[in-house]
Structure 1
Amino acid sequence: MGGTEHLTVRREGATLILTLNRPEAKNALSLPMLVGLYDGWLEADADDRVRSIVLTGAGGAFCAGMDLKALAGKGMDGQEYRDRMTADPDLHWKAMLRHHRPRKPVVAAVEGYCVAGGTEILQGTDIRVAGESATFGLFEVKRGLFPIGGSTVRLPRQIPRTHALEMLLTGRPYSAAEAASIGLIGHVVPDGAALEKALVIAEQINACGPLAVEAVKASVYETAEMSEGDGLAAELKRGWPIFDTADAKEGSRAFAEKRAPVFRRA
């Protein structure tokens, strides 16, 4: 199981939990964190025993974005990580889910700060839970910067454009309640309970047919920008093969026999 000094990896049942682990810096992004994140996404997709992923942060924060000191050329230690970035200049975008989409569902468990790059990574996750004191926002314009992690493209597709533009153009913070009201997150829970709730959701996903879950996720993203007709045609191509799987037959048989299905990815 992978991980780095700024990214821990552990399994709980069929869920792989990736934890941003730089609490002294509110989990601001670093090279070790980015390399660990990308390796975590790859590990989850390569291991058929993993059916879901939970992304969270240590120390009561999710992610405060890029370390600005590091952006200025300081603090990004670790030659092995520099070598990884040199070998794959796109690695940081893959880590931040800008240029990579895991085939397994990703549930975000947010506590505390989830701002700038944190809010950008959030947009690459599938289901989002936050503690009631969590803070969201894209602060880049306040610093004369651009939210280049994908937010000018993704955010208006995920929430109403008026809310997306307000978040992008004002650089102001958003509470968890307001983030939920505009559709950025799906659940607000008491502080400290985000991971627990995310794991409950992950376990519900894990109980479903993995081939079906992955096909459904792929279809949602694949058809997002298609016309309705093209999307429905693409959905059939994704969906019909699922009915011919052994898992589909097992699901129907288990329902008839009033028992929990045993899915085998077959």
Structure 2
Amino acid sequence: MSKLLHHRDGNVLTLTINRPEARNAIDPELLCLMADAFEAASRDTELRAVIVTGAGDKAFCAGADLGRLLPLLARQRPPEDDFDHRVAEDPEVFNRALLRGFDIGVPVIAAVNGHAIAGGMELCQGTDLRVASENARFGVQEVKWGIFPAGGSTVRLPAQLSMARAMELLLTGDPIDAKTAFDWGFVNRVVPPAQVMPVARDLAQRIARNGPLAVRAVRHAARSLLGTPEEEALAQELRYAAPVLASEDAREGPLSFLEKRPPVFRGR
């Protein structure tokens, strides 16, 4: 069975990291499969949302496979197969797999069904919405093993949390539980384990019903303008808004409201 499972339900795609026996740790093969899946999603014009989760109920993703992937990335072992060679020769495989500087264009929801540690936590940081199980834990533990968290944590966490809380995670390496992650604003929902996927699917479907051009543009604006000085950001916001407001969808939405019917968005 594949180490990455794909399930398409209409215009919502669910990707399941499928190495429960290894706490869904990312080895070179899985890294390539994840990179390819996100690349394909970025080209799918019918896609409206993506859910990422892990198989089993113990871990969302425990990060890099310490025996296979990490030594390869650190040049401590030579490539042994085609997946190893891809990872060793193309740094963009790593970036795409962890959504590090790679944007697929549609909202990504993390359905965190267990521990999200190291690279698993960094994958969460690349998502837009996060639903966590009550037993989930989040940690950037690289410093405990003398490793640098190069999947984006030193950039994303200070932007997504307060600086003090980000530095606590980064410098101690200690994990936080789901309630703390919610209190700190890192996750949107904390639910019983059996509700993680239903709640994530509900969020995805609610997003998918909205105007796709508007969703993409709003998401892009919010992510890209973060940290931009207000005057400059407001000017740039209008450039995101203009094509959406001139679209067929922007005419259909108000018309459907006046006609008391659901809108039929066509993405144009």
Q: Normalising to structure 1: TM-score of the pair? A: 0.94
Aligned to 1:63: 61
Matches within 5 A, 1:236-247: 236-247=238-249
Aligned to 1:132: 134
Could you tell me whether the CA contact under 8 Å between 1:32 and 1:78 is conserved in 2? no
For structure 2, list consecutive stretches of 5 or more residues without a partner in the other structure.
Answer: none
Aligned to 1:94: 96
Could you tell me whether the CA contact under 8 Å between 1:69 and 1:75 is conserved in 2? no
Matches within 5 A, 1:19-98: 19-60=16-57, 61-70=59-68, 71-73=70-72, 79-86=81-88, 88-98=90-100
The 3-state SS of whatever aligns with 2:169 is: helix
Query: Which AA in structure 1 matches 2:64?
Result: M
Correspondent of 1:259 among 258, 261, 266: 261
Aligned to 2:147: 145
Could you tell me whether the CA contact under 8 Å between 2:42 and 2:103 is conserved in 1? no
Could you tell me whether the CA contact under 8 Å between 2:29 and 2:84 is conserved in 1? no
State the distance in 2 between where 1:127 and 1:170 align: 25
Aligned to 1:230: 232
Could you tell me whether the CA contact under 8 Å between 2:116 and 2:139 is conserved in 1? yes
Query: Which AA in structure 1 matches 2:265?
Result: F
Q: Normalising to structure 2: TM-score of the pair? A: 0.93
Correspondent of 1:178 among 171, 180, 184: 180
For structure 1, list consecutive stretches of 5 or more residues without a partner in the other structure.
Answer: none
User: Percent sequence identity over matched residues?
Assistant: 43
Could you tell me whether the CA contact under 8 Å between 1:93 and 1:99 is conserved in 2? yes
Query: Which AA in structure 1 matches 2:247?
Result: T
The 3-state SS of whatever aligns with 1:43 is: helix
Determine if the alignment matches structure 1 residue 212 to structure 2 residue 214. Answer: yes
TM-fit CA distance, 1:86: 5.0
Aligned to 2:125: 123
State the distance in 1 between where 2:119 and 2:18 align: 15
State the distance in 2 between where 1:12 and 1:79 align: 34
Identify if the C-alpha distance between structure 1 residues 116 and 18 changes in structure 2 by more than 3 Å, giving closer, same or farther. Answer: same
Aligned to 1:157: 159
Runs of 4 or more consecutive aligned structure 1 residues displaced over 6 Å after TM superposition: 74-78
Compare 79-88 and 64-73 and name the one that shifted more.
79-88
State the distance in 2 between where 1:140 and 1:256 align: 55
State the distance in 2 between where 1:59 and 1:76 align: 32
Identify if the C-alpha distance between structure 1 residues 233 and 16 changes in structure 2 by more than 3 Å, giving closer, same or farther. Answer: same
The 3-state SS of whatever aligns with 2:61 is: coil
Query: Which AA in structure 2 matches 1:50?
Result: L
State the distance in 2 between where 1:75 and 1:194 align: 38
TM-fit CA distance, 1:35: 1.2
Correspondent of 1:202 among 201, 204, 216: 204
Query: Which AA in structure 1 matches 2:245?
Result: F
Size of the aligned set, in residue pairs, is 263
